[in-house]
Structures are given as structure tokens and as C-alpha cells.
Structure 1
Amino acid sequence: MKIRFSKLKNFPTVSLRPGAYRQASEDVPSTAAGYRNHLRWWDIAALTAIMWGSSIYSSTVEFFSQSASEDRAAAADVAAQDFSAADNLWALLNQSGLLLLAIGYLVLRRFNFRQWIIAPSLRGTFVAVGVFLASGIVYEVAYALQQLVSFDGAAAAAEAEGALSAGDTPLQGITDPSLVVYSLFNGFYEEIFFLGICLAVSARYRALAFVYSLVIRFSFHTYMGLFNATCLALIVGGIYYLVWRKCTGKNLYPLIAAHAASDIFGVGVLQFLPEGFTLLP
């Protein structure tokens, strides 16, 4: 299946059909038709401002508004809070508008959208499940180590519980249609930016672009506390990048699906195991 933004000759095509497009060489900056395979640094900066400017600002303000003594407890409360259907709808509408602005910018820059390979498949779904579980396991280990070295074990445990679980039960999130719809969209929105936009650069700048993507992923999660934001950036960002580069043929579908699952269920995996199971002695 193909989705066309317009029938106008100069507007690109996004392909969702497996094998419909073979990605151009990383060293080829543009197609024969003149569409850009690579973005410049100012393009990525502009798209960051469009897609994440307000989120980074509000997260930073909330982080610095917390006093040192209240920081971890407040972060735990924020991480654990439930969003209403109205909150999810507002976030969906807001991000949809920002995504349209970003697409408009890319159209003006004659970006080659066909690089965005989104090919759902059974194999891709299994990869998504594996990514979700792997991220959750590494997250659980990180939080277990944090609690071992923390001077305030109760606060560390509360922070971990808020970040690792999306509800009182593992399947609570999937019973909320508004959360499921928003999570699917948010998975697309975030991974299109981090993998489809930030990494649309020449191969020699790929490592720098990856580090930049981690910084941005960290920056709009600081409201959850520094430890949560760092884990989200390094664990999620790192694993997703490695899987995208090595295991999926640069197909975004498994990472979008894994991200959506994390939004619905939470990033932790111990919640799916018998009650009382812990990584701590």
C-alpha cells in the first residue's frame, strides 16, 4: 500500500509496502529526481524546535521548579500519574498539528520521504516484542542497582514503580482506548523524529546525530527526574538505535510498535511476573 501526500509531481511518496523501496546509499545526498536523502544540521535543529520545543521547555521548567528535597518524590508522582481520555485526546491533537508542520517543512526542503520504511510483518512484530522485553529487563536492572546504592531506598522504589508500570495491573493500559490510540501515534511521532529525521544524515555524521538524538530524548523527560530521563535516553535510545541499524533493515515498524507497547504497559517487565518477584536480594 502506498500513501501519497499529493498528486503533484514534486511531492514525494511514503511507502508502507514491504520491499516497495530500496533505501538509497547512505553516501548519496539526493535522488535523481532531486529529493534530499540527507538533512543539514539547521534542518534538524528547526524540526527539533517544531516537534519538541514546547515539550523541552515545559519539562525543563517543571524540573527546576522542584526543590532538591522534593525532586525524587515529585518525579515519582509525575511518572505514575494517570492521564484521562481528555488528556490523551489533547496530546494527540497537539502532536498531530506539530507533525503536520514538520511534514510541511520537509516537503519544502524536498526531503525523500521514501526513506521512511514502515513495513508491518510477523517477524517485525516478534522483533518489537523482543525489543520491549529487552528494554524492560535492562530498565529493571538499572533500577535495582539504583536502589542498592541509593541513600533513600523508599524514594528510589517509588520512582521505579512510577516509571516501570503504567497502571495497577499489567493489562490496565490496554483497556483504555484513548491511551492505546495515543500510544500508537506517539510511538510513530517519536521514532520518526529520532530514527527517521535525526539519522537522515551522511554516514560520517551518523554517530554525532545519534548522540544528539539521545540528548533530545533526555531533555523532554527531565520532568520525571534525572535518573528516569537518563535511562529513557540511554537504554531506550541505545537499544532502539542498535536494533534499527542491525536487525530490521531500517524498518521503523518494530521500534514504533515497541515504543507504543512501552507507553501502554510501562517499560518494566517484572509487573508481568508473579507478585513479590524482585531483582533485589
Structure 2
Amino acid sequence: MQKLKYLQIVDVIILTIILFGQAIYSSTLSFLNTKGLGDSTLTYTSSLQNFQMIIFQGILILIALTYLYFRRFDFRQWQCQFSLRSTAIALFLFLTLAIMMDLLFFILDENFRNALFYYPWNFSEGVKHIILQFKNFPLILYAVLNGVYEELFFIGICNYIIPKAKKLIFVLSLIIRISFHTYQGLLSAIGIGLFLGITYFWFYNNKSKNLYPIFLSHTIADILGLSIVRYFIIAV
């Protein structure tokens, strides 16, 4: 039997529920409980929390892949190839997206601007935090899984939809990205949803079908947070 190259809209809806249903629900509750303010500051999770999320997401992604297997989806369409060049591209993507997020908050968030100009910068502490993050094995393990988990859906699945529905699914994918980041606040959720969603989609469709730099870029963002200046300014 021939492998399935293009999914239907209903497939994307089912996979959205499997992979992000709980995340959308909990993020929406958090958003409503904080009256839409959320918390966009850099947060730290314990090793236990990271391992719990690894198990939880691991189960969900296995369910999703099993669903695709029984749909006879052609997994050979996915390419993930390591190279030094693609690693450099991933770093460039991360830095570009982090700068875009910082600019968004600089323009629209008064508290961010005040912190930028009136709070002390501490480069040594910032570097120390970055090093500590990359020494946190449970965090790195979860960040790798989460980067693959999210982008396998948004890029690896949403790009292989029936052609006539691709624009609709692209818009839907942006809404989904935003919806499970609302716990961070609406501004942060919109920035993450639009910047990552549009940038990764454009890169995949116009520059390279290699998923590796997208996975790695997202992983770095999960480890460090999608910002640069927040690591060097106290109280941001």
C-alpha cells in the first residue's frame, strides 16, 4: 500500500488534541487566573519537574507517532541531518529570534524598558547563569525532547497537509503556538507564536528541509529562554 504523503485537516486536529490539548487547557487557566498578565520572566524548573515532563511528553509523542504509523504517513519525508553549517544556522536562528523578542518587549513593555535603563547590568552573573543552564542535564534532556516534540508537529506535520489546506493550517499552527504559551502573558505568547512560527515555517519552505537546525534552535531557546538581555539585567 502506498505511503501517505499529505495529511488531512482532521489529522492535524486530532494530533493537536493529542500533543497540545492539556498544555492549551492549563495555559489558558493560568492566563485567566493571572488576569492576562502571566509571567514572562526566566523561570527555573527542578530536575524532578523536567523528568516528569520528559515522561509525559514522551508518552504523548509515541501516541502521535503511532497514530501517524497507522495512517501510513511517509516518515521518510522528514530529514534531520547534523552538520557544522546547520549547527551554525541554528545558533543564528536562536540569536535572531531572541533579539526579535527583546525588541518586542523594548517597544511594548514599559517595565522591560525601565529595567533596561535603570537596573544594573551584571555580565558575569549572566554568563554564570548560562553556563549553569548548560550543565543542567535534566533540563537539557527535556529541552531536546521539547524542541523535537513541538517542531515535529508545527514543521514536520503541518507542512505535509493537503496543498489546498496548507495556508489554513499555517494560520492554525500560529494560533496553537500562541495558545499554550499564554501562561507567560499575552505579549510573550504572541511574540513566541508569531516569531517562531513564521521564521521556522519560512526557513523550512524556502531555505532547507533539514529539521535539525530548527530542533536545535528551539532547544537552545528552551534552555536559555528566548532573550539575550534578560540574562544580564537584574530584576527582569
Give structure 1 stretches of 5+ with no counterpart. Answer: 1-32, 159-165, 277-281
Name the counterpart of 1:267. 226
- What's the CA shift for 1:203? 3.0
Question: C-alpha separation between the residues in 1 aligned to 2:144 and 2:221?
Answer: 10
Question: C-alpha separation between the residues in 1 aligned to 2:112 and 2:106?
Answer: 12
3-state DSSP of counterpart to 2:131: coil
Question: C-alpha separation between the residues in 1 aligned to 2:84 and 2:28?
Answer: 39
Name the counterpart of 2:61. 99
Alignment of 1:1-281 (within 5 A): 33-67=1-35, 71-72=36-37, 74-76=38-40, 79-147=41-109, 150=110, 153=111, 169-248=129-208, 250-270=209-229
- What's the CA shift for 1:146? 1.2
Q: Which has the higher helix share?
A: 2
Equivalences, count: 224
Question: C-alpha separation between the residues in 2 aligned to 1:237 and 1:54?
Answer: 20
Runs of 4+ in 1 over 6 A off after TM superposition: none
3-state DSSP of counterpart to 2:90: helix
- What's the CA shift for 1:64? 1.0
- What's the CA shift for 1:168? 7.0
Distance change in 2, residues 1:167/1:34 (3 Å): farther
Distance change in 2, residues 1:45/1:146 (3 Å): same
- What's the CA shift for 1:192? 0.1
String of CA shifts for 1:207-242, please: whole Å, max 9, x gaps. Answer: 221111111100101111100100001111111111
Q: Percent identity?
A: 33
The TM-score normalised by the length of structure 2 is: 0.88
Give structure 2 stretches of 5+ with no counterpart. Answer: 117-125
Question: C-alpha separation between the residues in 1 aligned to 2:97 and 2:81?
Answer: 22
- What's the CA shift for 1:93? 0.3
Name the counterpart of 2:122. none
Larger Rg: 1
- What's the CA shift for 1:167? 9.5
8 A contact 2:42–2:230 mirrored in 1: no
8 A contact 2:98–2:226 mirrored in 1: yes
Question: C-alpha separation between the residues in 1 aligned to 2:228 and 2:201?
Answer: 21
Indicate the structure whose relative CO is greater, using CA pairs within 8 Å and at least 6 residues apart: 2
- What's the CA shift for 1:155? 9.7
The TM-score normalised by the length of structure 1 is: 0.74
Q: Which amino acid is 1:267 matched to?
A: L
